[in-house]
Amino acid sequence: MQPFTSIADLGRGLARGDYSARELAAFYLERIAAANDDLNAFIRVTEERALGAAEAADRSIARGEGGPLTGIPLAHKDIFCTDGVATTCASRMLAGFVPPYDATVVARLAAAGTVCLGKTNMDEFAMGSSNETSWFGPARNPWDRGRAPGGSSGGSAAAVGAGLVPCATGTDTGGSIRQPAAFCGVTGLKPTYGRVSRYGMIAFASSLDQGGAFGRSVEDVETVLGAMEGHDPLDSTSAERGPTRRSGGRNGAERMRIGLPSEYWTGLPGDLGGCLLAAAQELEQAGHALVSLSLPHTDAAVPAYYVIAGAEASANLSRYDGVRFGLRAEDPTDLDDLYRRSRAAGFGTEVKRRILTGTYTLSVGYYDAYYLKAQRVRRRIQQDFLEAFDDVDAIAAPVAPGPAFELGAVDDPVAMYRQDVFTTPASLAGLPAMSMPCGLVDGLPVGLQLIGPPFEEGRLLNLGSEFQQRTDWHLRHPET
Ligand code: GLN
């Protein structure tokens, strides 16, 4: 067994009987046991359940009922509720919370036969770009343990990047799948808002939150997405759409027009810019046309995102009151005291900062100046993209301003927010966007981002897989 094998190859190994699903799960569990003290990618390993699920998968395979994911190990970001397994969102606030139900994503992936090995580390309530706000301490980047794996889905990206699991779920509100995928040298897809059910996914900013997948390749991500997507009556914002299918450009064109927005491509550090340009040119050599274009409101995305996400977070997190979930202060003198002390002890600094700024921007007298204005900016950004997609089939862009930074190096909150400059625009516009490895800068992986029109994931998968057939960046991995 090899740790960096594709899902399809693992499936073939299982079908041939080279190994059983139980042996496969045990193999990855052993890798986790050996590496996790160091990487901190998993905050909970569910060994017994995993072996039980693997045995059930072996029985399905023996009956000839296996699908592409039967017996494939995976990990869930700790933001997804798992029936009977503690789910904390990496917050002290949810210490001891054991959900009585599965998130739709978790239930669907279990029904597809996947074997969940555990829950992965993340920024607290998914707020962060480095995994450093986790109550459990940061996950570490498998390419350099002194560096951040990115965030907020840092544990999932680090686990796949280190070959501790073949694939994992994540969520992306403003970049939390794409940026850690880039930092850890794996492929990550944030689907169109509404493609994947949010039921049982702990809410951060409900108009932006979207579940998605990490894998070693575009093909692997496509397989996982296929099992998690689709309409869910339990999430009123989930879209009634058919399954994602690979597709060409507008009118089915095989040769696509790929836009390079000047706002994303100017001012990049030389080596990063060089890698990204070479990647775009690879697509050009495959027969696609590169077109320069402008998305003029790009620089307003980070401020608009942080106003909107903070506002929604302040409302969503008001439910953690010390009464219904998780942490409860002892011996309160009255109800206000219970709220105050439970919330003070349960939330970390960054989460408190978001709740405070979010409450402020929603308060009487400031609502128009901040929240309403941010909504208008969001509309402009959306409009920029939709106009661009009149002329191009997809957009190519950087994912982050550089490769993984050192843990502790970005210690100013606003500097951290600025890390999200290239990911927040597609989030505000609700668009599908994918990150895939496209080079190394100082020995660290960097990612190319492909952004598509709403529900055109199939176009991104098509382009991405073409890119990965021509290059081998996605096959590289850190020494283990
Ligand atoms: N880094 C962004 C934030 O802190 C995005 C996080 C996310 O996508 N969940 O809000």
Query: In the chain, what are the domain boundaries?
Result: 1-237+246-480
In the DSSP assignment, the letter for residue 368 is: I
What CA–CA distance (Å, rounded) separates 381 from 444? 31
CB 77 within 8 A of CB 156: yes
What are the strands of the beta sheet with 210-215, ordered from one edge? 42-45, 115-120, 73-77, 167-172, 210-215, 187-190, 433-441, 444-451, 394-398, 257-261, 289-293
Task: With 0.75 as the threshold, say if the pTM is over it.
Answer: yes
CB 162 within 8 A of CB 41: yes
What CA–CA distance (Å, rounded) separates 185 from 180? 8
Residue from 131, 198, 353, 420 whose mutation best tests the ligand 1 pocket (most atoms within 8 A of CB): 420
CA of 56 from ligand 1 middle (Å) equals: 36
pLDDT at 479 over 90: no
What CA–CA distance (Å, rounded) separates 329 from 323? 9
CA 15 to chain centre: 30
Helix, strand, coil % in the chain, rounded to nearest 5:
45, 15, 40
Backbone angles phi, psi at 129, to 5 degrees: -130, 20
- Region of residue 321 (left: phi > 0; alpha: psi -120 to 50; beta: else): alpha
Residue from 122, 152, 405 whose mutation best tests the ligand 1 pocket (most atoms within 8 A of CB): 152
pLDDT at 221 over 80: yes
What CA–CA distance (Å, rounded) separates 179 from 207? 20
- Candidates 234, 146, 209, 150; CA nearest to 185 is 150
Tokens of 38: 């160091």
The pLDDT of residue 252 is: 87
**What CATH fold (topology level) applies to the domain 1-237+246-480?**
Amidase signature (AS) enzymes (3.90.1300)
Nearest atom within ligand 1 for CA of residue 305: 10
What CA–CA distance (Å, rounded) separates 304 from 372? 10
* pLDDT tens per residue, range 312-337: 999 999 999 999 888 999 999 999 99
What CA–CA distance (Å, rounded) separates 256 from 288? 5
Q: What is the mean pLDDT of the chain?
A: 97
pLDDT at 10 over 90: yes
CA 352 to chain centre: 22
Residues with CB under 6 A from ligand 1: 126-129, 152, 172-176, 204, 309, 420
| 108 half-sphere exposure, CB direction, 13 A CA radius | 22
CA of 309 from ligand 1 middle (Å) equals: 8
What CA–CA distance (Å, rounded) separates 342 from 96? 14
> Mean pLDDT throughout 13-31?
98
Q: How many residues does the chain have?
A: 480
Amino acid at 307: V
Residues 6+ apart with CB under 8 A from 251: none
- Banded model confidence at residue 372, pLDDT cuts 50, 70, 90: very high
Nearest residue (by CA) to ligand 1, atom 10, is 127
Diameter of the chain measured on Cα atoms? 70
Give 45's strand partners: 118
CB 477 within 8 A of CB 176: no
What CA–CA distance (Å, rounded) separates 123 from 135? 8
Q: What angle do CA 41, 47, 49 make, to 5 degrees?
A: 120
The pLDDT of residue 117 is: 98
- Candidates 213, 155, 176; CA nearest to 400 is 176
pLDDT at 480 over 90: no
The pLDDT of residue 164 is: 98
Pairing assessment for the beta strands 187-190 and 210-215 based on DSSP bridges = antiparallel
* pLDDT tens per residue, range 51-81: 999 999 999 999 999 999 999 999 999 999 9
Q: What angle do CA 258, 262, 268 make, to 5 degrees?
A: 110
> Mean pLDDT throughout 248-257?
92
Nearest residue (by CA) to ligand 1, atom 4, is 128
Residue from 77, 78, 89, 129 whose mutation best tests the ligand 1 pocket (most atoms within 8 A of CB): 129
Indicate which residues carry an active-site annotation. Answer: 77, 152, 176
Q: What b-and-e string marks burial along 163-200, b requiring 16 or more CB atoms within 10 Å of the CB?
A: bbbbbbbbbbbbbbbbbbbbbbbbbbbbbbbbbbbbbb
Give 80's strand partners: 201
Nearest atom within ligand 1 for CA of residue 173: 8
CA of 157 from ligand 1 middle (Å) equals: 15
Beta strands in 191-248 (DSSP E): 210-215
What CA–CA distance (Å, rounded) separates 418 from 434? 19
Nearest atom within ligand 1 for CA of residue 129: 1
* pLDDT tens per residue, range 396-438: 999 999 999 999 999 999 999 999 999 999 999 999 999 999 9
The pLDDT of residue 364 is: 87
Q: What angle do CA 158, 111, 175 make, to 5 degrees?
A: 35
The pLDDT of residue 239 is: 97
CA 130 to chain centre: 13
